[in-house]
């Protein structure tokens, strides 16, 4: 069996469609979690998210922000705010994963930037990029990593960010796996869309994957 790095093989949505038999859902209700019943934020949480945005903008105004800085300035504070560092969750970083392509005799290996686990379930997979990358570039790679979750888990959630933008992904596995993603949240808007990002993460934190 041929072994390859995920980043070498998976670059487009067509790649994940061909390798794993994935398709994008055309059901408008397939990924409703990012729109409906979002938990409210309190004043302290909003103030914390305001600081995160101000800090990121400060560094972004001086030039490109590396992936490591995106993780330190934006991703880590978000994960702490929504409670992913504390029980019942466990956080894993730079975890090596392997996934076998359906359509080829090929084993793909990669490293998940952040993986939040609850018991045996992968709660959310997070892929981060530096600001030179469009956030859309990370979606195919994220989907490949999500396909590496335990076979007993049917539904998974993911998030891709380059610091400037954020997008969420939902994947339902099975004989014919399907996915969809949210609108893109941006740091450039007048209102702080990190509020919505934190609310979606809180919503995902309350979601247990279906058996």
List the chain domain ranges. 31-94+112-205
How does pLDDT run across 89-135, given as a tens digit for each residue? 999 999 999 998 876 678 999 999 999 999 889 999 999 999 989 99
Contact call for residues 97 and 110 (beta carbons, < 8 A): yes
Residue 138 has pLDDT above 90, yes or no: yes
**Model's pTM, two decimal places?**
0.93
Closest CA to 4 of 85, 87, 98, 91: 98
Q: How far is CA 124 from CA 138, 170, 181, in A?
A: 15, 9, 14
Mean pLDDT of 43-53: 98
Q: What is the mean pLDDT of the chain?
A: 92
How does pLDDT run across 4-39, given as a tens digit for each residue? 888 888 999 999 999 999 999 999 999 999 998 899
Q: Looking at residue 208, what is its pLDDT? A: 54
């Amino acid at each position: 069996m041929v072994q390859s790095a995920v980043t070498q093989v998976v670059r487009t949505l067509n790649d994940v469609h061909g390798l794993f038999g994935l398709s994008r859902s055309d059901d408008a209700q397939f990924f409703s979690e990012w729109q409906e019943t979002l938990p409210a934020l309190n004043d302290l949480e909003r103030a914390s998210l305001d600081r995160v945005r101000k800090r990121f903008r400060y560094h972004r105004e001086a030039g490109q922000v590396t992936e490591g800085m995106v993780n330190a300035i934006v991703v880590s504070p978000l994960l702490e705010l929504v409670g992913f560092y504390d029980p019942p969750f466990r956080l894993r970083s730079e975890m090596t994963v392997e996934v076998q392509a359906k359509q080829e005799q090929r084993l793909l290996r990669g490293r998940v930037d952040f993986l939040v686990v609850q018991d045996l379930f992968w709660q959310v997979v997070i892929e981060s990029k530096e600001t030179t990358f469009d956030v859309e570039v990370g979606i195919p790679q994220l989907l490949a990593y999500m396909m590496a979750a335990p076979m007993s888990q049917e539904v998974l959630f993911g998030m891709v960010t380059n610091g400037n933008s954020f997008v969420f992904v939902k994947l339902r596995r099975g004989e014919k796996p399907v996915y969809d993603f949210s609108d893109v949240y941006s740091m450039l808007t007048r209102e702080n869309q990190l509020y919505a990002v934190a609310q979606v993460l809180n919503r995902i934190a309350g979601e247990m994957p279906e058996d």
